[in-house]
Chain A
């Protein structure tokens, strides 16, 4: 059996199982079971990436309220660029490592890390420090460099992006944790939770050429949504994004935003970058479809200063 056939056959089962988990998991947060729905969002400031995550996830009931024993977890950082960690074009490797450790402590059977990089993927994985950090924490680092890893999916309700090709690992895992790094973006002005999904699909050129804002918002309708979004705002690239030129682009904000609502996460991130939410057009577009809430006033946000 070729791997593709194998995957096709197992995809059905995987999808069914995944859907159960995703709906089950999601509803739990939204319906407000007392253990973990105390807050829609936790924002932490003033500590190291690891310390802020330790504190923040605790406020959301610990990793155990997201990862059940024996589950497989996908941690999706931004590893898009062949840039060293200090320049913050990629998610902080220390944060990625700590998240993986929490997953295993919560009983995860397997944790996977991957990104469809923009620069040469081997160099990105290596020079971002994420491959090393993830492997040190026991995760499996999965390549995303070949179209053969991507499967065609349909996105019901999408305006433009009705079908797309998504990395197979997203179907092979039960829990999806989105770990974007907050950055300025030359075209969309900001890249964070929603835009980080450009690293789980194959054909970015389609998004760019078919109304980028709409495609980003459309993808948010896809059934495999992140169960948790952890926004790395430790070092924030405030200009020349998303790749950056030098350390002058970086402002050390020493912050972190942890949320189950990725539209809210993007809205808060926009505030961090001092950018009008409406100017980042995909946020209101996604808000209108109901996948999340960009009105931060309506949310229950826990703010912690360390």
Chain B
């Protein structure tokens, strides 16, 4: 195929995909139903592998589809489906506007050692130690963090600007939303990566994807044996070099008529650039001389896949039974454990499954989730943790559990979530207003949705809180509402293993319907 429509199709398709991802993360009004979000996310490579690993259902096997797609068509995933890749294409375009030089690439040698080392390191570290490198390098998660840290607040800023204008005209269809942000340190990794990826894509095309991204490298290996790919018609080629200059992957060696399939992201730019129509996209016969290397590479691909799926199980199986000791000195307010969002089941499970894409942080209607610093330890950095000083987990909501693309948060139906105890309220009487000031308060009990925090008689007319841990679900509304500073008089200590709370019992009222006015 040599149609110029291939490129247009790619641009249109990827633009739609990018817009979908943008909306999913920028949906600050929480209008998009979870099932649509799940459809958008289903084909993301790393999250899909993690989800499939937990659930083993056909519908979660999006990564298999991606692998098949790659075997057939090459690294189309990188150009059509990866939001980070599409975002880089947008940056490259902007870069070209700034300086034409930024869009003149030319053939360059691959960073073979760097990219395969990073791929191997990612796989090995993930299998042996934990999810650190995957969290850091999974392109979807990187994109998610960019959106949560920068994109979503930017959209809210625009909303606030518009709502301010509309408010003047007495229109309240948009409302002002307070942007709270996160702890400054949480921004370090997203900012660093934004500078790195932004800078590289602005000036060097898809260098990040071909040098650092482990998914790009892995799919590159697969695409070496792909069925359909970009190829030269050596008879037509005049060696003008336009294709090579315009190739953002720097993978076209026009002098030798070779295209490095492991780096080609199938953007079709070269097809449109070539005036001689010497470049096309079609089925390639395997050349005899490359057969040998192909076999060994195939082995490597198969081996790494096996590694990815096979050994992971044994590592996880060990981990499941052994609780991770927490460094208590790093946790404030005497918490034994941080509070992990509902659906996490155990902190350990959650930590090993979450790649910190931060979608739940963007999607939480209450803004209670924040990226962790060291609350979970190093492994859980940037993973979502409940911050009850900032907000609380609203009783009638299961949003985060519904949209998690890696299944680190298992889906919960509302009735189950209302009985899922993610932590327990701990009352510190010596901090309480009622004791220290001898005045009424009860903010905690007022906020408690199960009345696990209730008031009992205290001195004189005063009442003071008491907690019932059997029915407490650890939603943190008490901690959030407690007005004492800097330390709260009531806080939620996380459960490392989430438990089932008892349903609050409630007897019929003794009061009867009045027959006459009591006054």
Interface residues, chain A, CB within 8 Å of chain B?
2-3, 6, 43, 45, 82, 110, 118-120, 122-123, 127, 140-143, 145-149, 185-188, 204-206, 208-214, 238-240, 242-243, 245-246, 248-255, 267-268, 271-272, 274, 279, 281, 296, 301, 303, 305
> Which chain A positions have C-beta within 8 A of B517?
43, 45, 255, 271, 303
Tell me if A123 and B365 are in contact (CB < 8 A). Answer: yes
Tell me if A82 and B396 are in contact (CB < 8 A). Answer: yes
Q: Given A118-B447, A206-B483, A212-B441, check contact A6 B178 (CB 8 Å).
A: no
**In the complex, what residue of chain B is closest to A273 when comparing beta carbons?**
B511
The one of A240, A251, A279 in contact with B513, judged by C-beta atoms closer than 8 angstroms, is A251
Tell me if A213 and B514 are in contact (CB < 8 A). Answer: no
Min CB–CB distance B255 → chain A (angstroms): 61
Provide the bound-state CA to CA distance between A119 and B366, in Å: 9
> Which chain A positions have C-beta within 8 A of B442?
185-188, 208, 212
> Which chain A positions have C-beta within 8 A of B365?
120, 122-123
The one of A240, A246, A251, A296 in contact with B519, judged by C-beta atoms closer than 8 angstroms, is A296
**In the complex, what residue of chain B is closest to A140 when comparing beta carbons?**
B172
Q: Given A252-B513, A272-B514, check contact A186 B178 (CB 8 Å).
A: no
> Which chain B positions have C-beta within 8 A of A204?
443
- B176 touches A (CB below 8 Å): yes
Tell me if A249 and B509 are in contact (CB < 8 A). Answer: yes
Of A186, A206, A211, A279, most buried by chain B (CB within 10 Å of CB) is A186
Q: Given A209-B433, A245-B504, A249-B506, check contact A143 B172 (CB 8 Å).
A: yes
Q: Given A245-B450, A274-B511, A281-B440, check contact A186 B445 (CB 8 Å).
A: yes
Tell me if B504 and A246 are in contact (CB < 8 A). Answer: yes
Provide the bound-state CA to CA distance between A303 and B518, in Å: 11
- B318 touches A (CB below 8 Å): no
> Which chain B positions have C-beta within 8 A of A123?
365, 394, 396-397
Provide the bound-state CA to CA distance between A240 and B508, in Å: 12
Tell me if B397 and A120 are in contact (CB < 8 A). Answer: yes
Provide the bound-state CA to CA distance between A240 and B468, in Å: 14
Tell me if A45 and B441 are in contact (CB < 8 A). Answer: no
Tell me if B441 and A208 are in contact (CB < 8 A). Answer: yes
Tell me if B448 and A243 are in contact (CB < 8 A). Answer: yes
The one of A82, A142, A211, A253 in contact with B394, judged by C-beta atoms closer than 8 angstroms, is A82
> Which chain B positions have C-beta within 8 A of A3?
164-165, 167-168
- B296 touches A (CB below 8 Å): no
> Which chain B positions have C-beta within 8 A of A142?
172
**In the complex, what residue of chain B is closest to A43 when comparing beta carbons?**
B517
Q: List 23 A-B contacts (CB under 8 A).
A: A43-B517, A43-B519, A82-B394, A82-B395, A118-B447, A120-B365, A122-B29, A143-B176, A147-B178, A186-B445, A186-B454, A187-B440, A208-B433, A209-B441, A243-B446, A243-B447, A245-B504, A251-B509, A253-B514, A255-B514, A267-B519, A271-B518, A296-B519
Tell me if A120 and B366 are in contact (CB < 8 A). Answer: yes
Q: Given A6-B168, A186-B442, check contact A146 B175 (CB 8 Å).
A: yes
Min CB–CB distance B440 → chain A (angstroms): 5
**In the complex, what residue of chain B is closest to A206 when comparing beta carbons?**
B483
Q: Given A3-B167, A254-B513, check contact A248 B176 (CB 8 Å).
A: no
Provide the bound-state CA to CA distance between A204 and B441, in Å: 11
Min CB–CB distance B419 → chain A (angstroms): 13
Q: Given A186-B455, A238-B511, A253-B513, check contact A146 B177 (CB 8 Å).
A: yes
